[in-house]
Amino acid sequence: MAIPTDSYVLVAGGAGYIGSHTVLELVNAGYKVVVVDNFCNSSEESIIRVRQITNTPDIPLINVDLRDAAGLDKVFTDYNVKSVIHFAGLKAVGESTKIPLEYYDANVGGAITLLKSMAKHGVPEFVFSSSATVYGDATRFPNMIPIPEECPTGPTSPYGHTKLIIEEILEDAAAADPNLKVAVLRYFNPIGAHPSGRIGEDPRGIPNNLLPFVAQVAVGRRPKLQVFGDDYEGSPDGTPIRDYIHVVDLAKGHLAALAKLDSVNGENGEGFLRAWNLGSGKGSTVLQIISAFEKATNQKIPFDIVGRRKGDVLDLTAKPDRANTELKWKVELSVEDACRDLWKWTTENPWGYDGKPE
What is the secondary structure of 75-94 as a DSSP string? HHHHS-EEEEEE--S---HH
Alpha helix segments (H runs only) across 219-266: 247-262
- Give the span between the Cα atoms of 324 and 247, in whole angstroms: 17
The type of residue at 136 is G
- Give the span between the Cα atoms of 146 and 139, in whole angstroms: 10
- Give the span between the Cα atoms of 223 and 157, in whole angstroms: 28
Query: Which residues of the chain register pLDDT less than 70?
Result: 1-2, 4, 358
Which positions are annotated as active-site residues? 159
pLDDT of the residue at 324:
98
Under 8 Å CB-to-CB from 98, ≥6 apart: which residues? none
pTM: 0.96
- Give the span between the Cα atoms of 154 and 15, in whole angstroms: 30
pLDDT of the residue at 334:
97
pLDDT of the residue at 182:
98
Backbone phi, then psi, for 324, in 5-degree steps? Answer: -60, -45
Return the DSSP state at 290: H
Distances (CA, A) of 164 to 133, 158, 327: 9, 10, 22
Nearest to 190 by CA among 206, 207, 209: 209
| Bridge pairing between strands 284-285 and 241-242 | antiparallel
